[in-house]
Structure 1
Amino acid sequence: MSKQVLGVLCSGRGTDLQSIIDAIGRGEVDATIALVLTDKPDAYALTRAEKAGIKALCIDRKQFDGRQPFEEALIKALDEAGVTLVVLAGFMRILTPYFVRHYAGRIMNIHPALLPSFTGAHAHRDVLAYGVKVSGCTVHFVDEGTDSGPIILQAAVPVLDDDTEETLGARVLEQEHIIYPKAIQLYCEGRLKVDGRHVRILPAQK
């Protein structure tokens, strides 16, 4: 099986990107990152990519007249780089069906809550407001809804009585950095089978 080629989309610090770069460096993820894309020119993810010798581009949404021209530019860059799996790592734009259909079954995202609960951009705030005792993170395939695609892996994190968004977010992020590379490697090994809403993890080949 040929090695998967990743295109990683980020909007901010790029800590999930760094966890993937590090996992590849340790030989835990059998893939290459061909391209890092951001939608913000000041995203630190660009610096992380540069330090790792990975091609990085900013495609600024503000420079486009509408969502489709913006997504067309994303697709052009990803396709030209030969990307086979799109990895959303803190990409703070909702992708339209136009983009999702182009990469159907080949887009992953990580969300900082246990889906299907607490979707959207303010998961930690919503978790604390609701008073749940357990939160966590979810890696899922991206479909045409918001945080609604089939779930690949999840990790649970206790919610403490004195938690703030920052303290809870820091503990969840530690788990993100563990399970996102694992999910990518399962994809690279061809071990993820999607059956409706269910993602079956197939046994490793001997």
Structure 2
Amino acid sequence: MSARIAVLASGRGSNLQALLDAIGAGRLDARIAGVFSDRPDAAALDRVEPALRWSADARTFPDRAAFDAELARAVAACAPDWVFCAGYMRILGEAFVRRFEGRLLNVHPSLLPRYKGLHTHARALRAGDAEHGASVHFVVPELDSGAVVAQVRIPVLPGDTADTLAERLLPQEHRLVAAVMALAASGRLAERHGQVQLDGQTLFRPLRLDSAGVLHPDSRD
């Protein structure tokens, strides 16, 4: 049976659309079991039928834990095999993370462990980096600190701004998301004791996405 993916999103949902496109093209054997947002006006919700949408304004809850508990109940109700954070802008509390531990993934626009948190493109430029990229990682309670499954890299070009860098990275990020979730949906991906496992073998370095959209072990020295 196709894997069931719950998607958490706060914005326009372009990574959700990448998953929907991969499913439609037969590159991802999965179905979207639900889309969940902390922003009822998030455009991501409009990318799926109403029956698959859940949202609540996090600001109306007494605290983070109360919102996370309600979100966790809603996500669990759709019985997901995987939970994917696709531009979800709230930090998930420890109770939520522990409930879905080992099947909770996030995409982050940097080459982790570099530039956890926000404003990653500007930070890469300020540091004078020669390359930038995106990472898909398992979620742990510490921000952007879980084991990294795979990365995609792009060069930083002369004259790049944070906006141009973000614009060039986004299509590659979409390809990365679809490729990693295809591994997850096929049962090849797992997390054990803080390390990524692929086909039962521990990955000591993140996989790397090539220009054909295929994930390979990173063979660089």
TM-score (norm: length of structure 2): 0.86
Distance 2:51 2:110 in 1: 29
Which one of the candidate residues 80, 85, 89 is aligned to 1:83?
80
Distance 1:123 1:201 in 2: 28
Distance 2:126 2:41 in 1: 31
Aligned counterpart, 1:13 = 12
Residue 6 of structure 2 contacts residue 80 of structure 2 at CA under 8 Å; is this kept in 1? yes
Query: For each residue in 1:110-167, what CA deviation from the matched residue of structure 2 results, as whole angstroms up to 9, or x when unmatched?
Result: 0001000011021111111111110000011111111111111101011112111111
Which one of the candidate residues 140, 150, 168 is aligned to 1:171?
168
Distance 2:26 2:147 in 1: 27
Alignment of 1:118-157 (within 5 A): 118-157=115-154
C-alpha RMSD of the superposition: 1.5
Distance 1:54 1:110 in 2: 25
Aligned counterpart, 1:187 = 184
Task: Report the CA distance shift for 1:54/1:129 in structure 2 as closer, same or farther (over 3 A).
Answer: farther
Task: Report the CA distance shift for 1:54/1:126 in structure 2 as closer, same or farther (over 3 A).
Answer: farther
Q: What's the CA shift for 1:90?
A: 0.3
Range 182-191 or range 41-50, more displaced:
41-50
Aligned counterpart, 2:208 = none
TM-score (norm: length of structure 1): 0.92
Which one of the candidate residues 98, 105, 109 is aligned to 2:106?
109
Q: What's the CA shift for 1:84?
A: 2.0
Distance 2:193 2:131 in 1: 27
Distance 2:197 2:62 in 1: 40
Distance 1:45 1:188 in 2: 21
Question: 1:162 aligned to 2:159?
Answer: yes
Q: What's the CA shift for 1:14?
A: 0.5
Residue aligned with 1:94, SS: coil
Q: Output the amino acid matched with 2:21.
A: D
Q: Output the amino acid matched with 1:122.
A: H
Q: Output the amino acid matched with 1:49.
A: V
Distance 2:171 2:33 in 1: 25
Task: Report the CA distance shift for 1:138/1:54 in structure 2 as closer, same or farther (over 3 A).
Answer: farther
Aligned residue-pair number: 200
Question: 1:199 aligned to 2:190?
Answer: no
Question: 1:28 aligned to 2:27?
Answer: yes
Q: What's the CA shift for 1:200?
A: 3.4
Q: Output the amino acid matched with 1:34.
A: A
